[in-house]
Amino acid sequence: MSDADRLNDDVTAPSCKKIKFDHQTENGVSDVKIQLKDFIPEKILRNNTNTKTVCVQGKFISKSGVAIVILEKNVFKEEDLNDKGYFSPETVLETYFQNDIYGNYACFPKSSINGVKATIIYPASEKHIIKYSQQEVHIVLETPELYEKLTLPFIKKEQFNLQWVYNILDGTSEQDRIVHDNKCEKEGFVLLPDLKWDGLTKETLYLLAIVRQRGIKSLRDLNESHLPLLRRVQEEGKKKILEKYNIRDSQLRIYLHYQPSFYHLHIHFTYLRHEAPGIYAEKSHLLSTVIDNIEMMGNYYQKASLPFTIREMDNIFDVYETNGYVQRIKPNIQNTELIDK
């Protein structure tokens, strides 16, 4: 849903050959089939060698509008590390070099365990293109005054469309993916796999709790009236994850992002063994700490200064730059030329 976080469409597939996904329209959800053989790549937005993820901008044959395809190498599943998986007779090795006891090879496992996770955003807006482009990142320390003066007006004007959130909460989309559903309008929430998780591999568990109560945009809006909601998300989320995935609460990272990628309150649940995007100090706030802070001071998050990161292509960067709080990094012409080549 990032980070991420989440976009207008949610897609998960075991391979990149053929994908069927829900295409949202103004009137709801219609079923659309898309095949990657019809995708025409036009520009690589980002190629992350750490996460083994590449984001490609392009278009589909005979379809209008821009599309973004995100390809990500799957993690190794422990159940495939045997003679029927990676060490089966179907696995092929091609030698790069061999020197004494050391050998380096290209490994080609059988196709059934060699899939690539593919995410498609179509039609993609300019905001999506910016979100997935490689760019310089800056950190801002947002005081309550800066929030009211700069951030809040920007949020009201520029945030992503939230129809996909309402589709989930209203029961018109992704109901087969829901792990837990508390239907209480004040304290209820829906728990389901995040866009970044395939829903299958325990080692990369990543769930998102989307609260039913509307009007809570982010951490900044939370106060003592929201404590019952936050505690319910924390306790019911932990209980359900233990029941379904056999992961104890001591192995869960439960947190909120600031700034979030979309402005309807949601809470992240990830496995501690998984180094999920957005878990670092400049973005992540543990739910237990958030609850403690509000218990100590009911309006803590209306009084606190909060850090957050912004990228140079984000529209909010222009707002903070114009007001003198950040300065754009001048491109290194020599490095740019090397990249272009």
Question: Can you tell me the mean pLDDT for 90-114?
Answer: 92
C-beta separation of 212 from 185 below 8 A = yes
Same domain for 207 and 95, yes or no, is no
- H or E segment at 40? strand 39-48
Same domain for 209 and 108, yes or no, is no
Same domain for 267 and 211, yes or no, is yes
pLDDT(341) > 60: no
Q: Is the pTM of this model over 0.85?
A: no
Give domain status of residue 22, yes or no.
no
Quick one: pLDDT at residue 221?
98
Give domain status of residue 119, yes or no.
no
pLDDT(21) > 80: no
Quick one: pLDDT at residue 207?
97
237: domain CATH number is: 3.30.428.10
Same domain for 315 and 204, yes or no, is yes
Quick one: pLDDT at residue 10?
34
Same domain for 109 and 217, yes or no, is no
Same domain for 213 and 139, yes or no, is yes
Give domain status of residue 167, yes or no.
yes
| Alpha helices per DSSP H over 137-283 | 144-146, 152-158, 163-170, 227-245
pLDDT(13) > 70: no
Q: What is the pLDDT of residues 265-287, one digit of tens each?
A: 999 999 999 888 899 999 999 99
Catalytic residues: 266
| Alpha helices per DSSP H over 79-226 | 126-131, 144-146, 152-158, 163-170
Give domain status of residue 95, yes or no.
yes
C-beta separation of 21 from 31 below 8 A = no
- The binding site comprises 164, 174, 194, 196, 257-268
- The binding site for substrate comprises 164, 174, 194, 196, 257-268
Same domain for 92 and 171, yes or no, is no
- The more confident residue out of 45 and 24 is 45
Share of the chain above pLDDT 70, in %: 87
pLDDT(332) > 60: no
Distance linking the first and last C-alpha atoms of the chain: 34
Quick one: pLDDT at residue 16?
33
Share of the chain above pLDDT 90, in %: 68
Quick one: pLDDT at residue 22?
39
Give domain status of residue 180, yes or no.
yes
pLDDT(144) > 90: yes
Residues 6+ apart with CB under 8 A from 167: 24, 28, 29, 173, 174
Same domain for 96 and 234, yes or no, is no
Closest to 230 measured CA to CA, from 178, 152, 289: 289
Q: What is the pLDDT of residues 206-229, one digit of tens each?
A: 999 999 999 999 999 999 999 999
Same domain for 302 and 160, yes or no, is yes
Same domain for 82 and 151, yes or no, is no
| Confidence band, pLDDT 50/70/90 cuts, at residue 50 | confident
| Average pLDDT across the chain, whole number | 87
Residues 6+ apart with CB under 8 A from 262: 1, 5, 6, 159, 160, 162, 165
Number of domains forming the structure of the chain: 2
Same domain for 216 and 269, yes or no, is yes
Give domain status of residue 181, yes or no.
yes
C-alpha dihedral, 249 to 253 to 255 to 258, nearest 10°:
180
Same domain for 244 and 311, yes or no, is yes
Amino acid in the structure at residue 58: G
Q: What is the pLDDT of residues 239-256, one digit of tens each?
A: 999 999 999 999 999 999
Q: What is the pLDDT of residues 304-328, one digit of tens each?
A: 999 999 999 888 999 999 999 999 9
Quick one: pLDDT at residue 32?
57
Give domain status of residue 234, yes or no.
yes
Query: What CA–CA distance (Å, rounded) separates 109 from 31?
Result: 33
Question: Can you tell me the mean pLDDT for 175-198?
Answer: 94
Give domain status of residue 129, yes or no.
no
Quick one: pLDDT at residue 304?
98
Instruction: Give me the domain span that covers residue 142.
Output: 135-322
